[in-house]
Amino acid sequence: MSAAQPLPCHIESVPSFGPAPRRTTRQVHIGGVAVGGDAPVVVQSMTNTDTADVASTVKQVAELWRAGSELVRVTVNNPESAAAVPRIVEKLAMMGVEVPIIGDFHYNGHQLLAGEPACAQALAKYRINPGNVGFGKKRDTQFAQLIEFAIQYGKPVRIGANWGSLDQALATRLMDENHLRAEPWEAARVLREALIRSALDSAERAVELGLPAERIVLSCKVSGVQELIAVYRDLAQRSDFALHLGLTEAGIGSKGIVASSAALSVLLQEGIGDTIRISLTPEPGAPRTQEVVVAQELLQTMGLRAFTPMVTACPGCGRTTSEFFQELAKVVQEHVRAKMPEWKITHPGAENLTLAVMGCVVNGPGESRHADIGISLPGTGEAPAAPVFVDGEKSVTLRGENIAHEFVALIDGYVERRYGRAATAI
């Protein structure tokens, strides 16, 4: 867009600082979790275990929940996995893991829900892909059956269209209609329209069948950043259903994180999106929980929610000749992340704590003063002393071998004083 062109009308309301107010969408209750309306943006994740393997799935769901996932989706693709779902939900409840479990259905969902009523009952939400619900004449019948199960069991549904499994009949029809236009759209725009229409038309059909609009979440996932932004801006303008946001097939490692963050941050800044998932391909051996950590950090760094204290750390440069400050930054971030489940209960508000670990005197004291607690480590040639700043004032200077241990103890003491029961009782 050139500088002379006006902003698109849907982003006129973005303020010069901070995110735009959330788009008002209908609020959907998934288990005990509110999504949409004035609820905070919800973090969700998906397992990659064989759902029929109850022990592995329970273990991974519990890990995702402990990492902070507020909803967890599992694949339900065959009778074995459908039969496993109620056992998974029961075991999680026995472990005190209170996270709504969402069933992901493709092709045979209508049969699986019919064959396993306990699965239909145990799930907190059904995810249906309108492009994969069935083909030809069976498509509408099978979609209707899925919606009728949702009505019968009182469950919400996500109607999740996906670029990779677009309703081909709809896409072909829209392409044919496009040829009749005086000025045909480019093919990519027609396909985006097909994706949006697939979700919106399916939602409309679900409402006609009797599913309340307050039990519908929509998503239209694509794997390109600009395409996702365009699709969701359009979707948000054309409906008031709660929206699930995610870049599908985001990729592995930093590419997946950067692409997801780039796309989702633009939309979240415009107030679009009620629940997010970061669809990372895990690095071999990496924990599945990484997608939860990235989702939380995205929301927290944007100032939309707070989950765990954030550590500001400098990148290091030629003024730091040892890796000590990098190790300290890691130790501190891991310490507060590990403590947060406990602090959430015993020290509410600790998630808002800000910390700084800096590598030398250039920016160290200044950045440390901006944090609740910050430490400025000695750079090359500087005196071997690490001043600690608390609430903007220099507090103590740490020296010697135990700096990491002592700094962590200072953090724990600060959390106790500021967020402990004694502090909140005042």
Structure tokens at 170: 């709809």
Minimal distance in Å, beta carbon 389 to ligand SF4? 14
Give the residue from 157, 163, 273, 145 showing the smallest Cα distance to 217: 157
Closest to ligand SF4 by CB, 178 vs 354, is 354
**Contact (Cβ atoms closer than 8 angstroms) between residue 103 and residue 123:** yes
- Cα separation, 149 vs 76, whole angstroms: 15
Question: Is residue 119 marked as binding?
Answer: no
Q: Nearer to ligand SF4 by C-beta: 269 or 326? A: 326
**Between 119 and 358, whose beta carbon lies closer to ligand SF4?**
358
The least distance separating ligand SF4 from the CB of residue 366, rounded to whole angstroms, comes to 9
- For ligand SF4, the closer CB: 49 or 368: 368
CB 288, CB 64: distance < 8 Å: yes
What does residue 416 show for φ and ψ, rounded to 5 degrees?
Answer: -65, -45
Of the pair 98, 327, the CB lying nearest ligand SF4 is at 327
Q: Give CA–CA dist 180/417, Å, rounded.
A: 70
DSSP 8-class letter at 11: G
Dist. CA 51–CA 234, nearest whole Å: 35
Q: Which of 346, 327, 319 is nearest to 407 (CA)?
A: 327
CA distance 212 to 256: 35
Element (H, E) at 339: helix 324-346
Is 317 annotated in some ligand binding site?
yes
From CA 291, how far away is CA 298, in angstroms rounded? 11
Q: How far is CA 237 from CA 5, 9, 308, 319, in A?
A: 20, 10, 33, 51
Smallest separation, CB 310 to ligand SF4 (Å): 17
Q: Binding site annotation covers 360?
A: yes
Rounded least distance, CB 315 to ligand SF4, Å:
5
State the CB neighbour count (10 A cutoff) for residue 114: 14
What residues line the site for ligand SF4 (CB under 6 A)?
314-317, 319-320, 358-360, 362-364, 379
DSSP class of 214 = G
Question: What is the rounded distance in angstroms from the CA atom of residue 116 to the CA atom of residue 242?
Answer: 28
Residue placing its CB nearer to ligand SF4 in the complex, 136 or 381 = 381
Closest separation in Å from C-beta 311 to ligand SF4: 14
Provide the minimum distance between the beta carbon of 316 and ligand SF4 in the complex, in angstroms, as a whole number.
5
For residue 331 the two structure tokens come to: 């130790």
Distance in angstroms between the alpha carbons of the first and the last residue of the chain: 54
Q: Which is nearer to ligand SF4, 325 or 419 (CB)?
A: 325
Burial 66-99 (b: 16+ CB within 10 A, else e): ebbbbbbbbbbbeeebbbbbbbbbebbeeeebeb
**Between 100 and 364, CB nearer to ligand SF4:** 364
Tell me the closest approach of the beta carbon of residue 383 to ligand SF4, in angstroms: 15
220 assigned binding-site residue: no
- The distance of closest approach from Cβ of residue 320 to ligand SF4 in the complex, given in angstroms and rounded to an integer, is 4
Shortest Cβ 330–ligand SF4 spacing (Å): 15
Residue 309's closest CA among 339, 345, 350?
A: 350
Give the nearer residue to ligand SF4 in terms of CB position, either 286 or 317: 317
Question: Annotated binding site for [4Fe-4S] cluster, which residues?
Answer: 314, 317, 360, 367
